[in-house]
Amino acid sequence: MRPGRAAGSMTSPLQPLEFLMSRLLALLLSAALLPATASAADTVFSANPFAGSPADPNDGVRTVFANGQRSLPSFDQAQDRFVFDPAFFAIGGSLSFANGVSGSLPSGGANLIVIRDTGPGFNAGSAANAIAAAVTTDGAGFFVYHNVGLGVNRLVYSTNLNLATADLAILARVESPTGADALAALPGFAAQNFALTTAVPEPTSLALMLGGLAGIGMRARRRAARLG
């Protein structure tokens, strides 16, 4: 025992480092497992919304594509979310939310809009036209609207919210509520109901990080052995 250190108070110089490494390892493994443990309340969109569609962004003709549409029994605005993978949607790195009738929408900045307009035959094209008339800056984005003919609320991706001929991909429809109740539910949508996926380490990156931690641990052990 070295002088000046009371018996029973000896601690290994590795303990703080080993604790830190164990915590980092747990965090890395948690991040790697995120896709497998996503919340059941999240509906994740991580594929090309126009896969299999004849849509051509340069032909000046609107294509409304619904082959990939998901049907959700309901949507709990208190906890459910629509989650988008930016790799498949040209929306940049963030979402900017707006909710209201077309006359109250901001002219720019919003790329996620809940539009409350309605009327006879109001559909995805009608909603896109109303948004395009209100928005003055180009950019892809999403919108939620009430389809009067179907009586349900739907989620749509537009290649350009400012362009009346932009292609539209119907991503999802909420089966309940319907009719007037569905229309009344539109104001309840909030920014918290939408999110972008969070990047997690690729397997090769994770292996490199774990290898680095192992190397740090080995050097610390050799140093501790010399000091001991």
Query: SS3 of 155, please?
Result: strand
* Tens of pLDDT, residues 4-21: 544 444 445 545 656 555
Residue closest to 39 by CA, chosen among 193, 220, 214, 224: 193
- Helical H runs in the chain? 15-32, 124-134, 179-185, 203-227
Residue 57 pLDDT grade (very low, low, confident, very high; cuts 50, 70, 90)? confident
* Tens of pLDDT, residues 192-221: 999 999 854 445 544 555 555 555 656 666
pLDDT averaged over the chain?
83
Q: How many helices (H) and strands (E) does the chain have?
A: 4, 10
* Tens of pLDDT, residues 73-107: 999 999 999 999 999 999 988 999 999 999 999 99
pTM for the whole structure: 0.72
| Residues 134, 50: Cα–Cα separation, whole Å | 25
| 72 pLDDT more than 80 | yes
* Tens of pLDDT, residues 148-162: 999 999 999 999 999
Q: To 5 degrees, how large is the angle CA 156–CA 63–CA 133?
A: 65
| CB crowding 200-220: b at 16 or more within 10 Å, else e | eeeeeeeeeebeebeeeeeeb
| Residues 204, 210: Cα–Cα separation, whole Å | 10
Q: Strand 194-196: give its sheet, edge to edge.
A: 42-45, 81-84, 194-196
